[in-house]
Amino acid sequence: MVVTKLHETGVAVMRLDPADLPGKALMSADYARGDFEGHLSVNGHVLSMGGLDSVWVRRPGEPAAHAPRPSVWLTAETHQALFGMLYSASARWMNHPRNADQARLKPWQLRTAHLSGFAVPPTAITTSPRLAQQFAKEHGDVVVKSASGPPPGDPALALPTTLVGPDPDFSAVAAGPALLQRYIPKRADIRLTCVGTQLFAARKAAEPGQVDGRYGDTGHAWEAVPVPVRIGRSVHEYVTLAGLAYAAFDFAEDEESIWWFLECNQGGQFGFVELETGQPISEAVARWLSQRKGRRTT
Protein backbone atom coordinates (compact mmCIF):
# COMPACT_ATOMS: atom_id res chain seq x y z
CA MET A 1 0.00 0.00 0.00
CA VAL A 2 2.76 2.44 0.92
CA VAL A 3 4.92 1.62 -2.09
CA THR A 4 1.94 2.06 -4.44
CA LYS A 5 1.34 5.51 -2.98
CA LEU A 6 4.99 6.45 -3.33
CA HIS A 7 4.97 5.34 -6.96
CA GLU A 8 1.81 7.38 -7.60
CA THR A 9 3.48 10.55 -6.40
CA GLY A 10 6.59 9.87 -8.44
CA VAL A 11 8.90 9.37 -5.45
CA ALA A 12 11.87 7.12 -6.21
CA VAL A 13 11.83 3.97 -4.07
CA MET A 14 14.50 1.33 -3.66
CA ARG A 15 13.54 -1.95 -2.03
CA LEU A 16 16.30 -3.98 -0.45
CA ASP A 17 16.15 -7.25 1.40
CA PRO A 18 19.40 -7.38 3.43
CA ALA A 19 19.33 -11.16 2.80
CA ASP A 20 20.18 -10.37 -0.86
CA LEU A 21 23.48 -8.70 0.06
CA PRO A 22 25.96 -9.80 -1.23
CA GLY A 23 24.36 -11.22 -4.36
CA LYS A 24 21.46 -9.44 -6.02
CA ALA A 25 22.51 -6.33 -4.16
CA LEU A 26 25.85 -4.55 -4.14
CA MET A 27 27.16 -1.93 -1.74
CA SER A 28 30.10 0.38 -1.52
CA ALA A 29 30.95 3.03 1.03
CA ASP A 30 33.88 5.38 0.89
CA TYR A 31 35.13 7.32 3.90
CA ALA A 32 37.73 9.79 2.70
CA ARG A 33 38.76 13.44 2.94
CA GLY A 34 36.50 14.00 5.97
CA ASP A 35 33.47 13.04 3.97
CA PHE A 36 31.40 9.97 3.27
CA GLU A 37 29.94 8.58 0.08
CA GLY A 38 27.94 5.42 -0.22
CA HIS A 39 26.09 3.55 -2.90
CA LEU A 40 23.63 0.74 -2.86
CA SER A 41 22.65 -1.07 -6.00
CA VAL A 42 19.82 -3.56 -6.46
CA ASN A 43 19.18 -5.19 -9.82
CA GLY A 44 21.19 -2.49 -11.58
CA HIS A 45 19.37 0.42 -9.91
CA VAL A 46 21.80 2.63 -8.00
CA LEU A 47 21.06 4.73 -4.94
CA SER A 48 23.52 7.26 -3.56
CA MET A 49 23.50 7.76 0.22
CA GLY A 50 23.51 11.52 -0.38
CA GLY A 51 20.14 11.13 -2.10
CA LEU A 52 18.66 8.91 0.58
CA ASP A 53 15.94 10.83 2.42
CA SER A 54 14.32 8.14 4.54
CA VAL A 55 14.55 4.49 5.43
CA TRP A 56 11.46 2.41 6.11
CA VAL A 57 12.29 -0.74 8.05
CA ARG A 58 9.74 -3.41 7.24
CA ARG A 59 10.61 -6.91 8.49
CA PRO A 60 14.06 -7.03 6.92
CA GLY A 61 15.73 -10.38 6.26
CA GLU A 62 19.00 -11.31 7.91
CA PRO A 63 22.02 -9.92 6.05
CA ALA A 64 23.64 -12.46 3.68
CA ALA A 65 20.95 -15.08 4.40
CA HIS A 66 20.62 -15.78 0.64
CA ALA A 67 24.38 -16.01 0.05
CA PRO A 68 25.59 -19.21 -1.63
CA ARG A 69 27.65 -20.00 1.47
CA PRO A 70 25.87 -18.30 4.38
CA SER A 71 27.56 -18.25 7.78
CA VAL A 72 27.27 -16.45 11.12
CA TRP A 73 30.48 -14.61 10.26
CA LEU A 74 29.30 -13.50 6.81
CA THR A 75 26.06 -12.25 8.35
CA ALA A 76 28.02 -10.27 10.95
CA GLU A 77 30.33 -8.74 8.31
CA THR A 78 27.43 -7.88 6.01
CA HIS A 79 25.39 -6.42 8.88
CA GLN A 80 28.40 -4.23 9.79
CA ALA A 81 28.88 -3.08 6.22
CA LEU A 82 25.24 -2.40 5.34
CA PHE A 83 23.94 -0.89 8.56
CA GLY A 84 27.20 0.96 9.19
CA MET A 85 26.75 2.63 5.81
CA LEU A 86 23.05 3.36 6.32
CA TYR A 87 23.68 4.80 9.81
CA SER A 88 26.33 7.05 8.24
CA ALA A 89 23.77 8.64 5.91
CA SER A 90 21.75 11.58 7.19
CA ALA A 91 18.45 9.86 6.43
CA ARG A 92 15.55 9.73 8.85
CA TRP A 93 14.26 6.35 9.92
CA MET A 94 10.87 4.80 10.45
CA ASN A 95 12.08 3.46 12.87
CA HIS A 96 15.75 3.60 13.69
CA PRO A 97 16.79 0.06 14.71
CA ARG A 98 18.53 1.40 17.81
CA ASN A 99 15.29 2.91 19.08
CA ALA A 100 13.18 0.02 17.79
CA ASP A 101 15.17 -2.50 19.85
CA GLN A 102 14.59 -0.54 23.03
CA ALA A 103 10.93 0.07 22.22
CA ARG A 104 10.32 -3.69 21.92
CA LEU A 105 10.98 -4.24 25.63
CA LYS A 106 7.56 -4.50 27.19
CA PRO A 107 8.57 -3.59 30.75
CA TRP A 108 10.29 -0.48 29.36
CA GLN A 109 7.07 0.31 27.47
CA LEU A 110 5.10 0.25 30.71
CA ARG A 111 7.53 2.61 32.42
CA THR A 112 7.54 4.97 29.44
CA ALA A 113 3.73 4.84 29.28
CA HIS A 114 3.60 5.84 32.94
CA LEU A 115 6.00 8.72 32.36
CA SER A 116 3.89 9.84 29.38
CA GLY A 117 0.75 10.08 31.45
CA PHE A 118 -1.20 7.07 30.18
CA ALA A 119 -3.38 4.98 32.47
CA VAL A 120 -1.50 1.70 32.78
CA PRO A 121 -2.98 -1.41 34.43
CA PRO A 122 -0.90 -2.53 37.41
CA THR A 123 1.57 -5.07 36.07
CA ALA A 124 4.21 -7.37 37.52
CA ILE A 125 6.97 -9.26 35.77
CA THR A 126 8.58 -11.82 37.97
CA THR A 127 10.36 -15.13 38.35
CA SER A 128 9.20 -15.45 41.95
CA PRO A 129 6.12 -17.68 42.51
CA ARG A 130 5.59 -16.00 45.89
CA LEU A 131 5.49 -12.50 44.39
CA ALA A 132 3.24 -13.66 41.54
CA GLN A 133 0.87 -15.07 44.16
CA GLN A 134 0.96 -11.85 46.14
CA PHE A 135 0.24 -9.75 43.03
CA ALA A 136 -2.74 -11.94 42.06
CA LYS A 137 -4.10 -11.71 45.59
CA GLU A 138 -3.77 -7.93 45.72
CA HIS A 139 -5.35 -7.26 42.32
CA GLY A 140 -8.13 -9.82 42.09
CA ASP A 141 -8.71 -10.66 38.44
CA VAL A 142 -5.36 -10.97 36.73
CA VAL A 143 -4.29 -11.90 33.20
CA VAL A 144 -1.04 -13.57 32.20
CA LYS A 145 0.77 -12.67 28.97
CA SER A 146 3.91 -13.44 27.08
CA ALA A 147 6.41 -10.58 27.25
CA SER A 148 8.18 -11.31 23.99
CA GLY A 149 5.31 -12.53 21.82
CA PRO A 150 4.75 -15.92 20.19
CA PRO A 151 7.70 -18.34 20.38
CA PRO A 152 9.64 -18.11 17.09
CA GLY A 153 9.08 -21.08 14.84
CA ASP A 154 6.25 -22.53 16.89
CA PRO A 155 3.03 -20.49 16.56
CA ALA A 156 1.16 -23.35 18.23
CA LEU A 157 2.81 -22.31 21.48
CA ALA A 158 1.54 -18.72 21.19
CA LEU A 159 0.16 -17.56 24.50
CA PRO A 160 -2.95 -15.42 24.13
CA THR A 161 -3.61 -13.11 27.04
CA THR A 162 -5.32 -15.42 29.50
CA LEU A 163 -7.38 -14.78 32.60
CA VAL A 164 -5.90 -16.49 35.63
CA GLY A 165 -8.42 -18.70 37.42
CA PRO A 166 -9.10 -18.63 41.16
CA ASP A 167 -6.43 -20.09 43.44
CA PRO A 168 -3.80 -20.51 40.74
CA ASP A 169 -0.58 -22.49 41.01
CA PHE A 170 2.30 -20.12 40.21
CA SER A 171 5.14 -22.57 40.81
CA ALA A 172 6.07 -22.64 37.08
CA VAL A 173 6.92 -18.91 37.28
CA ALA A 174 10.29 -19.96 38.71
CA ALA A 175 11.16 -21.58 35.37
CA GLY A 176 10.54 -18.45 33.27
CA PRO A 177 9.45 -14.88 33.94
CA ALA A 178 5.70 -14.25 33.89
CA LEU A 179 3.96 -11.02 33.04
CA LEU A 180 0.84 -10.56 35.17
CA GLN A 181 -1.54 -7.67 34.71
CA ARG A 182 -4.71 -6.54 36.43
CA TYR A 183 -7.58 -7.53 34.17
CA ILE A 184 -9.38 -4.53 32.65
CA PRO A 185 -13.03 -5.45 31.88
CA LYS A 186 -13.29 -3.77 28.52
CA ARG A 187 -16.01 -2.37 26.35
CA ALA A 188 -13.76 -2.07 23.30
CA ASP A 189 -10.27 -2.49 21.89
CA ILE A 190 -8.56 0.68 20.69
CA ARG A 191 -5.79 0.72 18.12
CA LEU A 192 -4.08 4.07 17.77
CA THR A 193 -1.58 4.43 14.95
CA CYS A 194 0.93 7.25 15.13
CA VAL A 195 2.75 8.36 11.96
CA GLY A 196 5.06 11.27 12.65
CA THR A 197 2.63 13.69 14.30
CA GLN A 198 -0.50 12.26 12.69
CA LEU A 199 -2.74 10.08 14.82
CA PHE A 200 -5.39 7.58 13.72
CA ALA A 201 -7.56 5.95 16.36
CA ALA A 202 -9.87 3.00 15.69
CA ARG A 203 -12.25 1.21 18.01
CA LYS A 204 -13.69 -2.28 17.95
CA ALA A 205 -16.47 -3.20 20.38
CA ALA A 206 -15.64 -6.21 22.55
CA GLU A 207 -17.85 -9.07 23.60
CA PRO A 208 -18.48 -9.02 27.36
CA GLY A 209 -15.80 -11.17 28.98
CA GLN A 210 -13.55 -11.27 25.92
CA VAL A 211 -9.92 -11.15 27.04
CA ASP A 212 -7.65 -11.06 23.97
CA GLY A 213 -9.09 -9.22 20.95
CA ARG A 214 -6.30 -10.48 18.68
CA TYR A 215 -7.66 -14.01 18.59
CA GLY A 216 -11.08 -15.05 17.38
CA ASP A 217 -13.74 -13.07 15.55
CA THR A 218 -16.18 -11.02 17.59
CA GLY A 219 -18.40 -9.96 14.70
CA HIS A 220 -17.56 -6.30 15.42
CA ALA A 221 -15.59 -4.16 12.98
CA TRP A 222 -12.96 -1.45 13.48
CA GLU A 223 -14.40 2.05 13.34
CA ALA A 224 -12.54 5.36 13.24
CA VAL A 225 -12.88 7.40 16.45
CA PRO A 226 -11.49 10.80 17.47
CA VAL A 227 -8.35 10.94 19.62
CA PRO A 228 -9.01 12.47 23.06
CA VAL A 229 -6.77 15.51 23.60
CA ARG A 230 -5.13 14.04 26.68
CA ILE A 231 -4.32 10.80 24.87
CA GLY A 232 -2.85 12.77 21.97
CA ARG A 233 -0.52 14.58 24.36
CA SER A 234 0.59 11.32 25.95
CA VAL A 235 1.20 9.70 22.56
CA HIS A 236 3.38 12.63 21.55
CA GLU A 237 5.31 12.38 24.82
CA TYR A 238 5.76 8.61 24.42
CA VAL A 239 7.08 8.65 20.83
CA THR A 240 9.41 11.51 21.72
CA LEU A 241 10.86 9.61 24.69
CA ALA A 242 11.12 6.47 22.56
CA GLY A 243 12.49 8.18 19.45
CA LEU A 244 9.87 6.57 17.21
CA ALA A 245 8.45 7.92 13.94
CA TYR A 246 5.86 5.14 13.74
CA ALA A 247 4.05 3.36 16.56
CA ALA A 248 0.88 1.31 16.97
CA PHE A 249 -0.69 1.62 20.43
CA ASP A 250 -3.15 -0.89 21.87
CA PHE A 251 -5.57 0.24 24.55
CA ALA A 252 -8.47 -1.36 26.38
CA GLU A 253 -11.46 0.98 26.78
CA ASP A 254 -13.24 0.30 30.05
CA GLU A 255 -16.83 0.99 31.14
CA GLU A 256 -15.86 4.52 32.17
CA SER A 257 -14.35 5.24 28.73
CA ILE A 258 -10.80 5.24 30.10
CA TRP A 259 -8.23 4.06 27.57
CA TRP A 260 -5.81 1.75 29.38
CA PHE A 261 -2.37 1.39 27.79
CA LEU A 262 -1.66 -2.24 26.96
CA GLU A 263 1.28 -2.02 24.62
CA CYS A 264 3.00 -0.04 21.91
CA ASN A 265 4.27 -1.97 18.91
CA GLN A 266 6.87 -0.01 16.96
CA GLY A 267 6.38 -2.28 13.95
CA GLY A 268 2.65 -2.91 14.33
CA GLN A 269 0.49 -3.65 11.28
CA PHE A 270 -1.87 -0.99 10.01
CA GLY A 271 -3.32 -2.57 6.85
CA PHE A 272 -6.29 -4.18 8.62
CA VAL A 273 -7.28 -0.89 10.26
CA GLU A 274 -6.97 1.06 7.02
CA LEU A 275 -9.05 -1.50 5.13
CA GLU A 276 -11.85 -1.50 7.69
CA THR A 277 -11.94 2.18 8.63
CA GLY A 278 -10.74 3.89 5.47
CA GLN A 279 -8.22 5.89 7.52
CA PRO A 280 -5.42 7.07 5.18
CA ILE A 281 -2.57 5.55 7.21
CA SER A 282 -0.50 4.25 4.30
CA GLU A 283 -0.77 7.66 2.68
CA ALA A 284 0.51 9.28 5.88
CA VAL A 285 3.44 6.85 5.94
CA ALA A 286 4.17 7.56 2.27
CA ARG A 287 4.02 11.31 2.89
CA TRP A 288 6.34 11.06 5.91
CA LEU A 289 8.81 8.97 3.92
CA SER A 290 8.78 11.26 0.90
CA GLN A 291 9.66 14.44 2.74
CA ARG A 292 12.97 15.64 1.41
CA LYS A 293 15.97 16.65 3.47
CA GLY A 294 15.82 20.27 4.54
CA ARG A 295 12.12 20.49 3.73
CA ARG A 296 10.76 18.60 6.68
CA THR A 297 7.71 19.81 8.45
CA THR A 298 6.98 17.05 10.95
Q: Given candidates 52, 120, 262, 285, which one binds a copy of itself under the rule CB under 8 A?
A: 120
Residues 128-187 within binding reach of a copy of itself (CB under 8 A): 128, 131, 135, 146-149, 151-154, 157, 174-177, 179
Span near a copy of itself by CB under 8 A; candidates 84-92, 217-225, 231-239, 248-256: 84-92
Q: Going by DSSP bridges, is the β-strand pair 259-265/246-254 parallel, antiparallel, or unpaired?
A: antiparallel
CA–CA distance, 41 with 27 (Å, rounded to integer): 6
Q: How far is the CB of 207 from a copy of itself (least distance, A)?
A: 27
CA nearest 161: which of 229, 262, 61?
262
Smaller CB separation from a copy of itself, 32 or 229: 32
Q: Does 80 bind a copy of itself (CB under 8 A)?
A: yes
Q: Given candidates 8, 62, 101, 207, which one binds a copy of itself under the rule CB under 8 A?
A: 101
CA–CA distance, 14 with 53 (Å, rounded to integer): 11
Smaller CB separation from a copy of itself, 43 or 71: 71
* Amino acid at position 160, single letter: P
Q: How far is the CB of 238 from a copy of itself (least distance, A)?
A: 14
CA–CA distance, 138 with 142 (Å, rounded to integer): 10
C-alpha count within 13 angstroms, C-beta hemisphere, residue 150: 10
The helix-helix angle for 229-242 and 106-115 (nearest 10°) equals 130
Smaller CB separation from a copy of itself, 78 or 279: 78
Q: Does 35 bind a copy of itself (CB under 8 A)?
A: yes
